[in-house]
Amino acid sequence: MKRIASSLSVLALSVAVFAPVANAETSGDRELTSFNVANLAYQGRLTENGIPSYASLEASVSSGTITAEDVIQAAIDSGRLSETTLQNDAFVTAVERQLQNLVEQN
């Protein structure tokens, strides 16, 4: 039982560290964090908006051909984020960090 409680505590702490709510942007009734936006791109859910997925995304971010602004604009174009999201410098920076984390992890 202690092991389960400990695992749940670690999981909750991980979520709090990697997906801070302060960086959330809303569109309608949805709330996306910088982590969510980077993962949408990585999983290929923004390919219709010009963002490559998986290894192609990592290579494009690494080479600088895809930026956080590009990913955010694709999420805006797909209706997942509000039009004003690109004006939120903290959110843009947080998405950039998440994209860099994808590159560094793989």
Q: Which pLDDT does position 46 carry in this prediction?
A: 98
Query: What pTM was computed for the model?
Result: 0.75
pLDDT bracket for residue 21 (50, 70, 90):
very low
Q: Which pLDDT does position 15 carry in this prediction?
A: 45
The full DSSP string for 18-43 is HS-GGG-EEETTEEE-HHHHHHHHHT
CA-based nearest residue to 41, from 64, 75, 15, 65? 75
